[in-house]
Amino acid sequence: MADPQDRVDKMIHELKEHGFRVTPQRLAVLKILAASHGHPSVEMIFERIKPDFPTTSLATIYKTVNLLKDLREVVELDFSGESNRYDGNKPYPHPHLNCTKCKSIVDADVDGLTELAQHLAKKTGYQILTHRLDFFGICPRCQETQ
Amino acid sequence: MADPQDRVDKMIHELKEHGFRVTPQRLAVLKILAASHGHPSVEMIFERIKPDFPTTSLATIYKTVNLLKDLREVVELDFSGESNRYDGNKPYPHPHLNCTKCKSIVDADVDGLTELAQHLAKKTGYQILTHRLDFFGICPRCQETQ
DNA sequence: TTCTCAAGAAAGAATGATTATCCCTTCACT
DNA sequence: AGTGAAGGGATAATCATTCTTTCTTGAGAA
Ligand SMILES: [Mn+2]
Ligand SMILES: [Mn+2]
Ligand SMILES: [Zn+2]
Ligand SMILES: [Zn+2]
């Protein structure tokens, strides 16, 4: 896990670099994404920001998250049927363990994926830009409580 | 690639086994899924069925695909923002190469995933039920035509 | 310091894939 | 033939996300 403060600084830098303003709303959003505790959804970010910025609109969170995604400072984990989740702490493809009961998402420790992608690119002729590996199951805590 | 006819037979068997009827509409859908040329979406299945069964409703395709998914005879590849895609030819988790330009999806040849999942389960305490590996990029054909 | 205007934020409408609901039809079994 | 559950067709509802509109802000220019 990267230092959240470093990630905040990097994100601020990227915003400025590309001529985007660092507004209080954006700062609040990117601080949460920099830590990405639990890989929050837009809705979760929204709830955590409400106390500090009660007037902030959901659309603003969506726009900020997508802006950071376009700047490649946030990884989007999209799910059809439920809300997308975001990781701004490790802004590059990496595998995840998803609990289908409590909907928790944690980083999984698997390596060699990038090399695998390169090998596959050479073999198939595809120009591979990114990848995604997800494991779905029941987390230890949810197994206890049945 | 499994023999599509074998897959058709297996799907019919599973439907009967669980007390579901094999109706003309279901048969038409599962025949397409058994081959799964291009990993069709519900909409694509719908279009291919129209000539033979002009009155079939989209909802019927959705219901049939989900029924086969519940019977574990079809793998669903869900994408937020665009339509889900289905593979009834290899009804178990396997990696895919996705072209972000032409939206084509082909099976990728990568093995060791199941073993990796087992290893991860042991290491993390998760009860892993399934997984998904996708590579995203530009297919050779789309690279040619820029 | 005031002015100006493009970027950003807020609010709500629109979108679109999927699911739910309703009602009619079909079929297996008596 | 009669009956009841399962299936199909049509349409409405759902809900995350995006779009549109309008209002606000703030970094330079003068
Ligand atoms: Mn992560
Ligand atoms: Mn496949
Ligand atoms: Zn859990
Ligand atoms: Zn392509």
Co-location of B8 and B72 in the same domain: yes
Rounded to the nearest angstrom, the minimum Cα separation between A133 and chain B is 4
Do B140 and A125 meet the contact criterion of CB atoms below 8 Å apart?
yes
pTM equals 0.94
Residues having Cβ less than 7 A from any atom in strand D: A 21, 41-43, 58-59, 62, 66, 78, 82-84; B 20-21, 23, 25-26, 53, 55-60, 63-64, 80-81
- CA distance between the termini of chain A: 30
Task: Render pLDDT for B87-125 as a digit per residue (tens, 0 to 9).
Answer: 999 999 999 999 999 999 999 999 899 999 999 999 999
> Taking CB atoms and an 8 Å cutoff, what residues of chain B touch A125?
139-140, 143
| A110 & A82 share domain | no
CATH code for the domain of A125 = 3.30.1490.190
- Is B137 within 8 Å of A116 when comparing Cβ atoms? no
Residue range B15-21: mean pLDDT, rounded: 96
* Ordered alpha helix ranges (H), A36-127: 42-49, 58-70, 113-124
Which residues span the domain enclosing B117? 96-144
Closest-lying ligand to the alpha carbon of A86?
Answer: 1
Q: Which residue, B87, B107, B132, sits at the end of a domain? A: B87
**How near does any CA of chain A get to the CA of B52, in Å?**
30
Identify whether residues A108 and A42 lie together within a single domain.
Answer: no
pLDDT at A97: 98
- What's the pLDDT band for A76 if we cut at 50, 70, 90? very high
Q: Alpha-carbon Rg of chain B, whole angstroms?
A: 17
* A70 CB within 8 Å of a chain B CB: no
pLDDT band at A146 (very low <50, low <70, confident <90, very high): low
Contacts of B140 in chain A (CB under 8 A): 124-126
Q: What average pLDDT does this structure show over A70-82?
A: 96
Determine what percent of chain A is predicted with pLDDT higher than 90: 98
Distance CA B80, CA B83 (A): 7
Q: Are residues B63 and B103 in the same domain?
A: no
The answer to whether residues A42 and A80 belong to one domain is yes
Same domain, B24 and B58: yes
Q: In the predicted model, what is the mean pLDDT of residues A65-70?
A: 97
Q: What is the bridge-based pairing of β-strands B96-99 and B127-138?
A: parallel
- Do A132 and A64 belong to one domain? no
Picking from A96, A126, A141 by the largest number of B CB atoms within 10 A of its own CB, the best residue to mutate is A126
Residues A22 and A74 grouped into a single domain: yes
Q: Are residues B23 and B55 in the same domain?
A: yes
* CB pair distance less than 8 Å for A117 and B135: yes
Q: Are residues A82 and A16 both part of a single domain? A: yes
Ligand number with the minimum distance to the CA of B142: 4
B76 shares a domain with B17: yes
- Strands (E) across A12-126 are located at 75-77, 85-87, 96-99, 105-107
For residues A73-87, give the mean pLDDT: 96
Average pLDDT, chain B: 96
Q: Is the CB of A63 under 7 A from strand C?
A: yes
The answer to whether the CB atoms of A137 and B121 lie below 8 A apart is yes
Please report, rounded to whole angstroms, the spatial distance between the CA atom of protein residue A110 and the C1' atom of nucleotide D9.
48
Q: Show residues of chain A in contact with B96, CB under 8 Å.
A: none
Q: What is the CATH number of the domain that holds A18?
A: 1.10.10.10
Q: What is the DSSP letter of B41?
A: B
Dihedral Cα B77, B79, B83, B89, nearest 10 deg: -10
**B49 with B10, same domain?**
yes
The tally of domains found in chain A comes to 2
Burial group, residue A7, by CB count within 10 angstroms (0-12, 13-18, 19+): buried
Q: What is the pLDDT of residues A7-23, one digit of tens each?
A: 999 999 999 999 999 99
pLDDT at residue number A139: 97
First to last CA, chain B: 30
